[in-house]
């Protein structure tokens, strides 16, 4: 920041000179004794000798990062998961959060308190309207988006159009069309984008993925992806009866709904009770599949595509659905603990054995101890080859500085979420599906193709 300097306006020589400026009176002579001269000189020197105390952190000393080198961040829709992400990000020494945008006053105030307490200031600004926020805060480099699922894609697109890099929680799209729009916006505006599939940056999962990808299992024929053990693939279209709508400053209900069809206000929606409703959710398949499909696809080198075949299963959840890629490799959707223990697991099988990981693992598991012997080597080789850290948010910040693609960039998000959406459509229409991942359309199925997008309520449109 440039210091403000008082400027003396230039003289306008076209103006008449005043008598004072043209005076020819002789100058008044003043004489100072040596004592007086020294006294005045000492007084003047003391003024300039007063120390200007600048905190070391402002200069980047003591391990702190100078303000000019910090990544300036803001949060959009920060609840439970968003608070976890934000605290994680604030642990990075070159990152500083300065603002919160949320339609709920209670969340705005809580996040402001967290940010101000972290930095020992009162500087965090609060915003309710995402459009005004993005227009006003031109100083912000990137945003953390952790709204409800139905806002992830639209908020990401608006932020990228405003010149912000984006870290978006998953599921990061509600439809195939939304995913396409996120990819196109990131490409058009040259923005860095990371979806919150953090297991792509965790050692146990990276080991399982790299073991499969590198051929240690032989040619992998099957990958398994965990889907959530609650809710179903078929979601509710019901609407709650409604309650009096609060003041907009307390909860901006219209903005909370965003692109979704209007419905009466109910406080349970804004406190997390939106899951299981078609307008707001991607079903039990998307709840965990938004993570695990990318994990499975990474291990079979299929992050740039989606399955071409989806087999309907006659149950409420999609458990056991077999999807097949053009390569012939299968990805099986699995609910429960048939192939792992813990949550959000992936597993790979080949002629030489199997390997897998999930959240509750202290280390990856495999069909033989020999496969686990090179754990550190496999993870180390991955990090050396890709220059990726085992820290998902650090990968995002590194890429903000270098402008390279993140490990879970917009294309990775879109291809894995396209598989989620196609699997859901298969369940909704109760029939097998053929999908063309190049044209991004279902083959000879107009009804399925209509479900690739949803109508968006104005003015909350892409």
Structure-token match 């020999």, residue found: 370
Per-residue pLDDT, 61 = 55
Mean pLDDT of 10-27: 38
Per-residue pLDDT, 36 = 52
Query: Could you tell me which of 423, 181, 152, 412 has the C-alpha nearest to residue 286?
Result: 423
Mean pLDDT score of the chain:
90
| Strand pairing class (142-145; 71-76) | parallel
Per-residue pLDDT, 66 = 87
CA distance linking residue 281 with residue 148, whole number of Å: 9
Per-residue pLDDT, 49 = 44
Q: Is the pLDDT of residue 52 over 90?
A: no
CB-based contact 363:158 (threshold 8 Å) = no
Q: Please state, for a pLDDT cut of 70, what percent of the chain lies above it.
A: 86
- Structure confidence by residue, pLDDT tens digits, 392-401: 999 999 999 9
- Structure confidence by residue, pLDDT tens digits, 99-135: 999 999 999 999 999 999 999 999 999 999 999 999 9
Per-residue pLDDT, 325 = 99
More confident residue, 381 or 36: 381
Q: Is the pLDDT of residue 80 over 80?
A: yes
Per-residue pLDDT, 64 = 73
- Domain annotation for the chain: domains and CATH numbers: 202-235+282-389+411-445 (3.30.360.10)
Q: Is the pLDDT of residue 21 over 50?
A: no
Q: Is the pLDDT of residue 29 over 60?
A: no
Instruction: State the DSSP code for 337.
Output: S
* Residue 16, beta-bridge partner list: none
Per-residue pLDDT, 40 = 54
Q: What is the pTM of this model?
A: 0.86
- Structure confidence by residue, pLDDT tens digits, 412-422: 999 999 999 99
Query: Could you tell me which of 412, 422, 438, 14 has the C-alpha nearest to residue 183?
Result: 412
């Amino acid at each position: 920041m440039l210091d403000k300097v008082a400027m003396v306006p230039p003289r306008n020589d076209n103006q008449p000179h005043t008598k004072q400026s043209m005076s020819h009176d002789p100058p008044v002579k003043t004489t100072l004794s040596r004592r007086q001269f020294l006294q005045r000189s000492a007084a003047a020197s003391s003024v300039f000798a007063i120390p200007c105390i600048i905190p070391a952190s402002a200069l980047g000393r003591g391990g702190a990062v100078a303000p000019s080198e910090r990544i300036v961040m803001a949060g959009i829709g920060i609840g439970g998961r968003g608070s976890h992400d934000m605290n994680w990000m604030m642990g990075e020494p070159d990152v500083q959060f300065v603002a919160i945008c949320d339609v709920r006053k209670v969340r705005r105030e809580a996040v402001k308190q967290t940010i101000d307490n972290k930095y020992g200031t009162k500087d965090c600004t609060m915003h309710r309207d995402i459009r005004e926020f993005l227009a006003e805060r031109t100083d912000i480099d990137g945003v953390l988006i952790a709204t409800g699922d139905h806002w992830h894609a639209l908020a990401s697109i608006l932020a990228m159009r405003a010149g912000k890099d984006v870290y978006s929680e998953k599921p990061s799209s509600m439809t195939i069309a939304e995913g396409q729009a996120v990819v196109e916006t990131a490409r058009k505006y040259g923005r860095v984008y990371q979806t919150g599939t953090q297991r792509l940056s965790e050692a146990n999962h990276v080991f399982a993925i790299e073991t499969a990808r590198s051929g240690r299992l032989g040619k992998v024929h099957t990958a398994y992806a965990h889907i959530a053990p609650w809710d179903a693939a078929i979601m509710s279209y019901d609407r709650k009866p409604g309650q009096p709508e609060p003041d907009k400053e307390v909860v901006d209900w219209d903005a909370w709904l965003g692109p979704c069809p209007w419905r009466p206000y109910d406080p349970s929606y804004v406190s997390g009770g939106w899951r299981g409703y078609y307008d707001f959710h991607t079903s039990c398949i998307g709840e965990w599949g938004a993570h695990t499909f990318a994990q499975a696809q990474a291990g079979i080198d299929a992050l740039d595509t989606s399955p071409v075949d989806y087999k309907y299963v006659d149950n409420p959840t999609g458990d056991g659905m077999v999807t097949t890629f053009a390569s012939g490799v299968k990805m099986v959707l699995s609910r429960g603990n048939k192939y792992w223990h813990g949550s959000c697991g992936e597993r790979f099988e080949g002629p030489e054995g199997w390997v897998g990981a999930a959240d509750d693992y202290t280390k990856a598991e495999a069909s033989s101890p020999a496969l686990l012997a090179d754990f550190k080597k496999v993870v180390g080789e991955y990090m050396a080859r890709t220059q990726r850290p085992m820290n998902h948010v650090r990968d995002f910040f590194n890429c903000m500085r270098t402008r390279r693609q993140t490990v879970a960039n917009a294309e990775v998000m879109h291809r894995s979420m396209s598989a989620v959406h196609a699997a859901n459509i298969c369940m909704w229409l109760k029939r097998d599906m053929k999908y063309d991942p190049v044209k991004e359309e279902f083959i000879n199925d107009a009804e399925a193709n209509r479900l690739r997008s949803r109508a968006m309520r104005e003015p909350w449109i892409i």
